[in-house]
């Protein structure tokens, strides 16, 4: 189950949805907005997503993780819009019988999400400049 | 499929949208594949990337750059992604 | 920083202590009491710890993890006493600049804690029997 | 260090404590090393494990089984651990 939201992510509520009496291990990953990227001081981030394909491609990633590292339940939420330093941009949680599957499935999910989901991140720098991550040189006019 | 003039709705995301100044536009394009759409709209989305660094969807399904496009299709052009 | 407590573990409060503007990734692991172990239905667990050495050996594990996978901050709490199905027995959280260190340090910490800390787990089975995990055949009188 | 009769306080944990019926007792033992303490108190802690499966601490510091014990030491005998 994957979601996209503009609201702050409630990790505790998400985790509660994964409670399962057969679960012995729970692994979660949170992506936080940090104050620096590649040497530049970051003031805030802006995330844009194309939700229909985030949901379908994200669901596909969860299924692949399940096939590789059988878990009991997993969820993922990605936030969009304007985020401040310290805000949670993404949450992935996996409950499994044992810790090995929990860790491996969680890692697989976040690694694939980052490279496959149609989500884009614009960094707003402290110096007033801004730039799309992975895309600084990909359009004629450089930064906006 | 050989190229022929088709009506294609092109959607731009993130940097591409900012460059084009619009999120979506309907164009008459002489194209056979998704790659043709990408190449012919370069002045609009402004990408200097090879298409392989970007992704494409047709009618809200992920597609290959070699996928054929048909009259009336909606082609979504995705710059390099950066989730998480 | 490692703690032992008989109180329920408050994961949210622990995570908040790891907030750091330079952190881009946070990984946590929780051990939950599950209803089954090696084919036997479990009713509850009882954890016993020798706290002075849990703290010193646990601190050593955190330092080792820091040397191998430089993280920004990490915490661990282990609960003791009688725990019910679904209760959290252990929490490990790691905040790092990037996700790779967060995942690897978190995994290292829980793996080492499980084999090095003087903590013991007694399973109380649904059938009324009980047994110390890893130790079923280690004393003359078998189960108690 | 050769064995000699010493006053040793032995602490038992988990299954060892349950078997011994006490958490701690002070004994007069003819021992040189931590391993000697483990072996000589087998009837008390009841372990059938080789000492290598268990752990030992002396005066609240983790120790090797070959560590010498001195008169007045507190020796902690740990059955196989199972945290998490």
3-class SS of residue A129: coil
Residue of chain C nearest A108, judged by CA positions: C103
Q: Cβ of D84 and C139 within 8 Å?
A: no
Model confidence at C99: pLDDT above 60: yes
Q: Cβ of A139 and B83 within 8 Å?
A: no
DSSP secondary structure code for residue A139 in this structure: B
Tokens 């004994």 correspond to what residue? Answer: D27
Burial track A17-26 (b if 16+ CB lie within 10 A, e otherwise): ebebeebbbb
Model confidence at C143: pLDDT above 60: no
Q: Cβ of C23 and A36 within 8 Å?
A: no
Q: What is the pLDDT of residue C144?
A: 39
Q: Is D75 on the interface with C (CB under 8 A)?
A: no
Query: Among the residues of C1-144, which ranges form H helices?
Result: 11-16, 51-68, 99-116
Model confidence at B33: pLDDT above 80: yes
User: Which fold would CATH assign to domain A2-143?
Assistant: Aldehyde Oxidoreductase; domain 3 (3.90.1170)
Q: What is the pLDDT of residue C92?
A: 98
User: Which fold would CATH assign to domain D4-78?
Assistant: Ubiquitin-like (UB roll) (3.10.20)
| Tens-digit pLDDT profile for residues C11-22 | 999 999 999 999
- Spatial CB neighbours of C31, under 8 Å, sequence gap ≥ 6: A24, A25, A26, A99, C88, C89, C90, C91, C110, D84
**A144 band by pLDDT with thresholds 50, 70 and 90:** very low
Distance CA D48, CA D80 (A): 12
Rounded to an integer, the average pLDDT of B37-57 is 93
**Nearest Cβ partner for C78 among D55, D78, D83:** D83
Model confidence at A141: pLDDT above 50: no
- Of A48-52, A76-80, C134-138, D39-43, least confident by mean pLDDT is C134-138
**C127 band by pLDDT with thresholds 50, 70 and 90:** very high
Alpha-carbon distances, residue D24 vs A82, D57, D59, D78 (angstroms): 60, 14, 13, 12
Query: Is D in contact with C (3 or more beta carbon pairs below 8 Å)?
Result: yes
Task: Tell me how close the Cα of A130 comes to any Cα of chain C, in angstroms.
Answer: 19
Q: Is D35 on the interface with C (CB under 8 A)?
A: no
Residue of chain A nearest B11, judged by CA positions: A50
User: Exposure of D5 by Cβ count < 10 A (0-12 exposed, 13-18 middle, 19+ buried)?
Assistant: exposed
Tokens 């491609």 correspond to what residue? Answer: A57
H/E element, B39: helix B34-40
Model confidence at B3: pLDDT above 90: no
| Tens-digit pLDDT profile for residues C77-97 | 999 999 999 999 999 999 999
Q: Please provide the average confidence, as pLDDT, over all residues in chain C.
A: 93
Domain boundaries, chain A: 2-143
Model confidence at A25: pLDDT above 50: yes
**A136 band by pLDDT with thresholds 50, 70 and 90:** low
Q: Is residue B55 within 8 Å of residue B78, measured between CB atoms?
A: yes
The length of chain C in residues reads 144
**Nearest Cβ partner for D84 among C114, C138, C144:** C114
Partners for C (CB, 8 Å, 3+ pairs)? A, D
| Tens-digit pLDDT profile for residues D35-83 | 999 999 999 999 988 888 899 999 999 999 999 999 999 999 999 999 8
Rounded to an integer, the average pLDDT of C95-119 is 97
Q: Is B14 on the interface with A (CB under 8 A)?
A: yes
C-alpha C117: how far from chain center: 9
Q: Is B45 on the interface with A (CB under 8 A)?
A: yes
Distance CA D16, CA A139 (A): 70
Domain boundaries, chain D: 4-78
Q: What is the pLDDT of residue C142?
A: 42
Rounded to an integer, the average pLDDT of D4-9 is 96
Of C113, C97, C106, C95, the C-alpha closest to C29 is C106
Model confidence at C137: pLDDT above 80: no
Rounded to an integer, the average pLDDT of B60-82 is 96
Q: What is the pLDDT of residue A143?
A: 40
């Amino acid at each position: 189950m994957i979601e996209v939201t503009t609201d702050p992510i409630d990790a505790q509520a998400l985790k509660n949805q994964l409670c399962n009496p057969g679960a012995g291990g729970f692994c979660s990953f949170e992506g936080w907005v940090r104050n620096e990227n590649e040497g530049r001081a970051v003031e805030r981030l802006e995330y844009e997503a194309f939700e229909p394909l985030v949901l379908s491609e994200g669901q596909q990633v969860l299924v692949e993780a399940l096939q590789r590292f059988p878990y009991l339940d997993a969820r993922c939420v990605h936030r969009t819009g304007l985020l401040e330093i310290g805000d949670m941009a993404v949450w992935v949680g996996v409950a499994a019988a044992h810790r090995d599957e929990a860790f491996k499935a969680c890692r697989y999910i976040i690694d694939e999400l980052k490279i496959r989901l149609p989500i884009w991140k614009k960094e707003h720098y402290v110096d007033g400049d801004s730039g799309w991550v992975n895309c600084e040189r990909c359009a004629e006019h450089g930064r906006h | 499929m050989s190229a022929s003039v088709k009506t294609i709705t092109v959607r731009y995301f993130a940097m591409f949208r900012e460059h084009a100044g619009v999120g979506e536009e309907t164009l008459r394009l002489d194209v056979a594949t998704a790659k043709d759409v990408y190449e012919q709209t370069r002045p609009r989305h402004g990408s200097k990337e090879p298409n392989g660094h970007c992704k494409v969807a047709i009618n809200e399904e992920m597609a290959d750059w070699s996928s054929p496009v048909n009259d009336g299709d909606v082609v979504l052009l995705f710059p390099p992604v950066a989730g998480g």
